[in-house]
Chains A and B, each alone.
Chain A
Amino acid sequence: MSAAPALRVEGLVKRYKTGDEALKGVSLALPAGQVVGLIGPSGAGKSTLIRCINRLVEPTAGRVFLGDLELTALGGAELRRARRRIGMIFQEFALVERLTVMENVLSGRLGYVSFWQSFTRRFPPADIERAFALLERVGLVEHADKRADALSGGQRQRVGIARALAQEPDLLLIDEPTAALDPKTSRQIMRLIREICEERRLPAIINIHDVVLAQQFVERIVGLRAGRIVFDGPAEALDDAALTRIYGEEDWTAVRRRAAAEARLEALDEERLEGLA
């Protein structure tokens, strides 16, 4: 590959004021269109890593490049302009609960419109057209005027996805998208994210604690432990030895078997439902 990677992270270090070192020199590169699953135990630094990329968390040292643009060198308005290019999807959806579904999707355009336009909710027609198209894509058009807190978990996460896509991003950062969802909805959401990334050739980093789900839906897996990358390779290469390196001792074969059985049951379920329809 000749082109610059879509995202490059070099020697990222984050030390919190409490003295905890969440990241101890993390380097990573993503080619365009690649979806990476970031796995690791709680406290390994997954959340901190993706927040250092769009600088919701300020890294202590290291550099981050989005294409040719060095994000870590930006300040103020330039940083806000760069953030528009990075869509983020959150664990507990992080929708603004009292705003409507449509407002939540349109909030993805805030970086592109003036304060007055956003204050009066008068977005350019192109933005509104795009927002409706996205709601159509995630299957929520009829809910556009409902308040976000009136939706179910899976629906809210779809709004979260539409909001991120409304930014027309060049990169998606996805923080535990399924942690607040049931197993079946989790699979649907992961499938949707996967499809969308393929449609738009969007690179994405997905923090995910469910190893089996990660292996099922992403091509490359990065394992983080105590602020360091201890595994980086294709999803198939993630074997028991690698998992032990990331998480410590555990009967991985049993974990996998259980998860596979669960997935089979759900597949059966879905077939039955489709048969009924």
Chain B
Amino acid sequence: MATAVRRTWRRPPLVADRRLRWLLYGGALLYLVLATSTVEVNWARVWDGLGRGWAFVQSFFRPDFTTRGSDILQGMIESLTMTVTATVAGILVSVPIGIGAARNLAPLPIYLVCRGLIALSRALQEVIVAIFFVAMFGFGPFAGFLTLTFNTIGFLGKLLAEDIEDIDETQVEAIRSTGASWPQLVNWAVQPQVMPRLIGLSLYRLDINFRESAVIGIVGAGGIGATLETAMDRYEYDSAAAILLVIIAIVMLAEYSSSHVRKWVQ
């Protein structure tokens, strides 16, 4: 018997069973409603705060770069120093760790150790790490440098390892078949394949590190964050706005130049 001619067709649903489907969708919706209702909003406080928020926004139109000028300059220089040194140190450490965390290059024990280090670095948020290092080494940019380096390792190590695991294995096979040693294999078959992405990720991390340097400064790890914190505490929104504007300008500059560099290395 020939199949009957069909003139309607619908895409099969993700969950085939109709009752289970409604249960899942209904349940998710119910949870969302209940969860939202537990978030307490103090509307009177919101009303009060609107004025303060508006003052903050207004101050962006008259940023004060001069009153705390030398503080801002010094904080920026410190932040940039922390950012650059931590990014470079982070790259230097994360390349071997990234190679070790790539299953197609490293033997199992090394792989597990490197993946463990990466997991540790990624599990701990910058601010927590910064508090730890400030407690250990005192206030100042050294704690910030260590924090950013530590977090760069997790970020770059993981993404580099994943990129290495995704490489075209036939190129590796070809180099191996010439009698190349393991370091030659990494330098000739793996590095050319992952280099553009490593450079792109490093630039991206440079930018993240700069933004993070402003945050960890708030807990005492040096840099512009400390200046920002002081300005905020004293309700000097004009100075705070000036700091934020400088940060935005630098991040945009980094964004613009890194996209150029990425295009160039591709």
**A residues adjacent to B (C-beta < 8 A):** 54, 56, 80-84, 86, 88, 90, 92, 94-99, 103, 107-112, 115, 118-119, 160, 163, 167, 173
Contact = CB atoms under 8 A, between A and B. Distances in A.
Nearest to A54: B177
Contacts of A83: 176-179
B187 interface: yes
11 contacts: A80-B180, A83-B178, A84-B179, A94-B173, A96-B192, A107-B178, A110-B175, A110-B181, A110-B188, A118-B180, A163-B174
Interface in B12-71: none
Given A94-B170, A96-B189, 7 more contacts: A84-B178, A84-B179, A90-B170, A95-B174, A97-B192, A97-B193, A98-B196
Contacts of A112: 179
Interface residues of B, number: 21
B188 A99 contact: yes
A110 B192 contact: no
Interface of B: 168, 170-171, 173-181, 183-184, 187-189, 192-193, 195-196
Contacts of B170: 90, 92, 94
A96 B175 contact: yes
A271 to B, nearest CB: 36
Contacts of B183: 115, 119
A95 B178 CA distance: 12
A98 B174 contact: no
Closest 9 CB pairs of A and B: A111-B179, A84-B179, A94-B174, A83-B179, A110-B180, A98-B192, A88-B177, A94-B170, A80-B179
Contacts of B189: 96
B193 A167 contact: no
Contacts of A119: 183, 187
A81 B178 CA distance: 9
Contacts of B181: 80, 110, 115
A84 B189 CA distance: 17
A95 B170 CA distance: 8
B182 to A, nearest CB: 9
Nearest to A98: B192
Contacts of A111: 178-180
B171 A163 contact: no
Contacts of A108: 178
A167 B184 CA distance: 15
Nearest to A173: B177
Given A83-B179, A108-B178, A94 B171 contact: yes
Contacts of A80: 179-181
B178 A90 contact: no
Contacts of B177: 54, 56, 83, 86, 88, 173
A136 to B, nearest CB: 21
Contact of A98 (B178, B180, B193): B193
Given A99-B188, A110-B188, A56 B173 contact: yes
A83 to B, nearest CB: 4
B147 to A, nearest CB: 33
Given A110-B184, A110-B188, A97 B171 contact: yes
Nearest to B171: A96
B188 A56 contact: no
B99 to A, nearest CB: 15
Nearest to A106: B188
A238 B173 CA distance: 33
Contacts of B184: 110, 115, 118
Contacts of A167: 178-179
A225 B99 CA distance: 40
A99 B173 CA distance: 16
A267 to B, nearest CB: 33
Contacts of B193: 96-98
B104 to A, nearest CB: 14
Given A90-B170, A107-B188, A110-B188, A98 B179 contact: no
A103 B180 CA distance: 14
A116 B54 CA distance: 62
B178 A99 contact: no
Nearest to A167: B178
B212 to A, nearest CB: 32
A160 B178 CA distance: 12
A109 to B, nearest CB: 8
Contacts of A54: 177
B20 to A, nearest CB: 35
A90 B179 contact: no
Contact of B171 (A81, A84, A95, A118): A95
B174 A96 contact: yes
Most chain-A CB neighbours within 10 Å: which of B174, B176, B187, B189?
B174
Nearest to B169: A94
B95 to A, nearest CB: 14
B178 A163 contact: yes
Contacts of A110: 175, 178-181, 184, 188
